[in-house]
Structure 1
Amino acid sequence: MQPTPPNTPPNSLVWRIVHFPPVLLAIGIAFIIGAMTISGLVGRSFRQSGNDWLSVLLAIIVAAIFIAFYCAFARLVERRQNVPEFALPGWARELGSGLLVGLLLFSLVVGTIAAFGGYRVIGTHAATVLLPSLAIAITSGVTEEIALRGFFFRIIESWLGSWIALVLSAALFGALHLSNPNATFLAGFAITLEAGIMLAALYMLTRRLWAAIGLHAAWNFAQGGIYGIAVSGFKQDGLLVPRITGSDLLTGGSFGAEASLPAVILCTAFGIALLVVAHRRGRFVAPFWMRPKPDQSAALQE
């Protein structure tokens, strides 16, 4: 398939420079920083309250700010009239499907770990512990998908093609997690394989961000909020109080189940399956040097 390019005015050197992918990506990073800055300013008043419901409201506001900045970038910088990544028709179905898949997929990971004796429920917490995890899941699901898949993957893909964008975005996603508590090289590599491939493949298949956001958010919420497992190294209290025993290879250790072998196998397999479906549906983008020129495309269509 052909990428959705920026709307570059003909004979405009300035816009040609702005729309050169590395420059476009640099501007995109500036928009992300802007969204983070505004979100931080808004969040100061909320964090002083200590109310878990307000933390969920703050997460929704932060999500709205990031979506607004992304749409502003698409319209003002890329000069695109439409932003299909956040188109509203069908958004609830795609978001809901992503949420369901994320919940089921992580439940399957935990079930596999439990089957080998690595996870056992020894108690429960009050349902109110779900609220902080929900807030974190909303924030991470929206902000990370916009940054990694909406900006980085999409712009690199439009330039260097799907395969290179997939490798680079997955590697970047894994590397960004190396600064988390209890992170190891193997944990970062696991994130690269399972989440980096899976989430990029889901975006490629849908060409929208709703499903990827849903899967990402549900994965984090299930891991910390329901099963009480550390999320990318950050300890969270969940609805279930677990006893986690066994090797780090089985459980993921203190980083969380994302670094476990069951997660790597199951989620990487799911990601590869998504890639196969995307390829069969013609959703892969060729690098710029392998695409026909506009006049050649027109001739082929005739």
Structure 2
Amino acid sequence: MRFVWQFLAVMVTYAIGGGTVTAVKENDWLTCVLGLVVAALAVLVYAWVVRRTEHRQALDVAREGAAARTGRGVLIGAGMFGAVIVNLFSSGHYEVDGLGSVEGALGLLGFMAAAAATEEVVYRGVLFRIIEEHIGTYVALALTGLVFGLSHLLNEHATLWGAIAIAIEAGFMLAAAYAATRSLWLTIGVHFGWNFAAAGVFSTEVSGNGSNLGLLDATASGPELLTGGSFGPEGSVYSVGFGALLTLVFLWLAHRRGNIVAFGVRRAARADSTVTLPR
């Protein structure tokens, strides 16, 4: 029942928050403000429902060290997408025509903050964490990663390959990051850093949701295998490669810190209190 209540609570926040931010997306300043509010609300609702259903504090969103962990995550996510763009630019498949829109970037900052926070509390905070307790880290990572990827088939320019790519480079990688650190702040940061770099800085399409005008006025062209085509760079083999590499790194860290849950060995609901937090 704790799974049911937690899932319902965060999904209601996800639906209402997402609908609210989408409704004002034509106003960049309002989108920025409301997006940040929705992001904060998603974390607060998650902390509240965990406390009510598990009778403990949600240490994966503890206030202590939150800014540092989120910041490290943003650097990882933005750095990962930056590496994709460097490869596309060096091969002549990404061109910058000039400056874009600062206001557009601000709107995307709020929009991506809301998306990152709400999706992370749903997919990693509730789904991965609780499923992991029952079937182990690896199976939970595979299942929730696939669900995360396939959910992107609902997007406007979605492709099956794009959904599979998202599952590998984001679904698997973010679950591995959570397993390694037991911190939603870090995964929210990685998720936001990737999305904002893609849309708010480099002005590329994000997960088949349409083109965005961020800080740079730029275009990507060339083979779909490299650029991702209409789905955006998340469908690029570069993204899949970097995401798979980071997944292995995070799983190695999870092993090193003793954070891997074996299949058939159920972790107690309050075991988060003994997990090694990121340094």
Whether these two folds match at TM > 0.5 is yes
CA distance in 1, matches of 2:203, 2:21: 25
Letter in structure 1 aligned against 2:172: I
Q: Return 230-239 or 220-229, whichever deviates more.
A: 230-239
Distance 2:267 2:99 in 1: 59
Residues 227 and 242, structure 1, Cα contact 8 Å, conserved in 2? yes
Q: One-letter code of the match for 1:47? A: V
Conserved? CA contact 1:197–1:272, under 8 Å? no
Q: Rate the CA distance shift 1:108–1:291 in 2: closer, same or farther, 3 A.
A: same
Paired with 2:150 and 2:78, the residues of 1 have a C-alpha distance of: 24
- Which residue of 1 is the match for residue 5 of structure 2? 27
Return the letter of the residue paired with 1:140.
Answer: A
Q: Matched residue of 2:218: which SS?
A: strand
1:96-150 CA distances to partner (integer Å, 9 max, x unpaired)? 1011111111100110111222111122213222112101110111000000000
Going from structure 1 to structure 2, the CA distance change for 1:291 and 1:239 (only over 3 Å counts) comes to closer
SS in structure 2 at match of 1:228: coil
In the alignment, is the contact (CA less than 8 A) between 2:113 and 2:192 conserved in 1? yes
Instruction: Show the counterpart of 2:214.
Output: 238
> Deviations along 1:53-109, whole A, 9 cap, x unmatched?
2211101211122112211211111222x2101111111110110111111111001
Pairing of 1:207-246 with structure 2 (within 5 A): 207-234=182-209, 235-246=211-222
Structure label with greater radius of gyration: 1
Q: 1:175 to 1:41 in 2, by over 3 A?
A: closer
Alignment of 1:171-186 (within 5 A): 171-186=146-161
Q: Percent of aligned pairs with the same residue?
A: 37
Deviation at 1:38, TM superposition (A): 5.1
Distance 2:144 2:267 in 1: 25
Deviations 1:139-186 (A, max 9, x none): 111000000000100010111110111011100110100111111111
State the secondary structure of the residue aligned to 2:190.
helix
Contact 2:11/2:122 (<8 A) preserved: no
Alpha-carbon distance in 1 for matches of 2:242, 2:18? 36
Which residue identity does 1:167 align to in structure 2?
Answer: A
Distance 1:254 1:155 in 2: 35
Structure 2 unaligned residues grouped into runs of 5+: 269-279
Distance 1:40 1:201, change over 3 A: closer
- Residue 27 of structure 1 deviates from its aligned partner by 2.2
Q: Specify the alignment match of 2:275 in structure 1.
A: none
For residues 281 and 253 of structure 1, the distance between their equivalents in structure 2, rounded to whole angstroms, comes to: 39
Q: What is the CA–CA distance in structure 2 between the aligned matches of 1:126 and 1:192, rounded to whole Å?
A: 31
How far did residue 255 of structure 1 move? 0.7
Aligned to 1:47: 24
Gaps of 5+ in 1: 1-17, 19-23, 294-302
Give the TM-score normalised by structure 2. 0.89
Match in the other structure for 1:275: 251
1:291: Cα distance to partner?
5.9
Aligned-partner residue type, residue 170 of structure 1: G
Alignment of 1:109-258 (within 5 A): 109-234=84-209, 235-258=211-234
Q: Which amino acid aligns with 1:136?
A: F
Shift in CA distance, 165/231, structure 1 to aligned 2, threshold 3 Å:
same
Q: C-alpha distance in 1, partners of 2:59/2:234?
A: 30
Contact 2:136 2:265 in 1 (8 A): no
Asked if the contact 1:28–1:151 (Cα under 8 Å) also holds between the matched residues in 2, the reply is yes
CA distance 1:37–1:278, shift in 2 (3 Å): closer
Matched residue pairs, number? Answer: 267
Where has structure 1 moved over 4 Å in runs of 4 or more? 40-44
**Cα deviation per residue 1:5-40 (whole Å; 9 max; x = unaligned)?**
xxxxxxxxxxxxx3xxxxx33322211233246537
Query: How far did residue 292 of structure 1 move?
Result: 9.9
Q: Distance in 2 between matches of 1:279 and 1:239?
A: 39
Per-residue CA deviation, residues 254-275 of structure 1 (Å, 9 max, x unaligned), is: 1110000111111211111111
Distance in 2 (CA, whole Å) between partners of 1:189 and 1:157 is: 21
